Structure 1
Amino acid sequence: MLKHMFPKYPPASLTSLQLRLYTTFWYANILALLTLVPYLVLDLFVAPLLWPFHAMASVLVLYSQLLLQYGHLRLSQLMSLSTCLGIVVVGYIAFGKDSGIEYFYFPLLVSAVTSSVWPLARRVMVGLITVCAIATLLTSLAPPPWVAMDSGTLGFIKLYNLLMTVIMLAFIMTRIRTLVELLGKDADIDPLTHTLNRRAFYLAVNRLQQRRQAFALLLLDLDHFKTINDTHGHEVGDQVLVHVTRLLKQHNQRNRDVLSRYGGEEFLLLLHDASPEQALQTSQAIRNTLAVNPFKHDNTLLTMTVSIGISLSSESRDIDKVIALADERLYKAKSTGRDRAVLYHA
């Protein structure tokens, strides 16, 4: 049922990470609405004067949800956070410090920090929440509550506030963890082949160099790949790259090895602690694998070959120099007939 209520008009420019944030706030608004329902019922019995306030807060959260439905993420977030902050402040003043209303400061703080409201508004929101939290600690200056309640009702409210705070914190932290994972994935993974991108590859190499660990580097380039794009189209070319990636991963079974798409039809395969002989053996195995596993397009088999340039970490401490050496040897492989691997110039 909730899926049918998802935002109808999310901004088209959102990345997958931003869209996840968008739906996260959508769920948070639903949770805030559900939290207000028991207060509306309780007000009728113990605090009728507060019923209009909580009803207005519910209307504001509903309006925030409507703004979200039509793509106004930041305005929706600002309205929801301001409304929740108002509920906390008024609830504290009305029911007093013993009602447990201060529990809501923690999820509010996390929500404000992780929202996408513009930086100035976010800082103001966090500042207001911090001030309210400090004010809660200054119990000696706290005014008497507006509403006097018996210990049973007060205990129920305190338990409810604690329970909803735990639920909100668990929800927010779970979504934050997912967002962080998506952020890391977006930053490190090539979207087509799902191998490491160039940035992540350099980070992996830097870690090896810091530990002074040796490696062999294979720079692979598919032969005549432009012909595939020109003849069958770029969509088929992308499918070929995905197919080749699957084949290359068969030779990247060790957790220490690193496969990366370097750009276009070029790939980098880093073999951790591999000797020159092992690098040549792996290169030959890759060539054989591509030769016996052509890509099937309609009724056509597209047989692919690959040229490989090999360099070693012992040749330079500069990774750019190591890649440049592999590139020189790749050019040598291309210029001497393709479908071969070159480690040293003849």
Structure 2
Amino acid sequence: MDTADTAPLRAPFRVGLIGYGLAGSVFHAPLIAATDGLTLDTVVTANPERQRQAAAEHPQVRTAATAEELLGRAGDLDLVVIASPNRTHVPLARAALEAGLPVVVDKPLAATAAEAEELAALAEGRGLLLSAFQNRRWDNDFRTVAKLVEGGALGKVQRFESRFERWRPRPKGGWRESGDPAEIGGILYDLGSHLVDQALTLFGPAVTVYAESDVRRAGAEADDDTFIAIGHASGVRSHLWMSATAAQLGPRFRVLGDTAGYVKYGLDPQEGALREGLRPGTAASWGVEAESSWGRLGAGESPLTGGGEPVPTLPGDYPAYYAAIAEALRTGGLPPVTAREAAAALRVLEAAKTSAAEARTVTLSD
């Protein structure tokens, strides 16, 4: 398909979803189904139990056993969403784009920035949408931090601290914790994909990257405790922690400016709601958290001893991602997260791997 042959599509857009594990069943399928202008047409999974689950949760959906079966009828679809294991992201995205279909890929888009750039060039050459699913840009706490930063409530930001910590002392196994590089497992690419994307979204390109990465748990194969320090071209320093071995959880965000700081504990409630089977649009309180979980803004005293003032947390809004995808399909505009942005984040993740392995700071211009 040449660029000249492409034109904005007309809703409702028919979506084929590849993969119905955690990402597909908990995040993508419910959000697609809740989005005006999108309809979940087909779910691809070879697992009979997951096929039955998809049919029960989305009665009108069709199922297919393989991606090849889905792409064999590409003319019946308007969008392919890839929520299968990380190692399949690049080949499936390439196949879908070559079949003439716009594509959304769950993070990480690829294992390397070079692969992400190749996919971006393929999509651009064919005039097709290609987006990475970075839903954490629509977390309630991140939306609140962005508002405070953009509104100048902190003054000039000097340091951005962000944590995604869990207490999982025993490995669960599976491809996400595999030591095989081909699986693209480990916590750096799992949680780090979110943290790095958020830091770059707020404070712009990275110049330097320093990282420490460990395998802490007995029997674990992939990194489960990692720290990244980013020096941004803007002058901000981002300190990012991701761990499965944190016996005490730190603040989700601590953002320090030259006039004030903001500290926020706890996680956005949307993932928990989706896991419990709740769906966007069923209640006006979607993404809203209790006042007791609000972060605090102030200077000179810890928020844990009453310092600062509580800041109402903006509602989380995961549905906004697919609403923006539907709008981009309708108008031919840019998606909410571009493949080039995903490549920039992958460049940082690759630098972090190098830094941790060689115990040095990596300058990205190198």
If asked which structure has higher relative contact order (CA below 8 Å, sep 6+), I would say: 2
Please give the range of the TM-score, normalised by the shorter of the 2 chains. Answer: under 0.3
Q: Give TM-score scaled by structure 1 length.
A: 0.25
Q: TM-score, normalised by structure 2?
A: 0.24
User: Which has the larger share of strand?
Assistant: 2
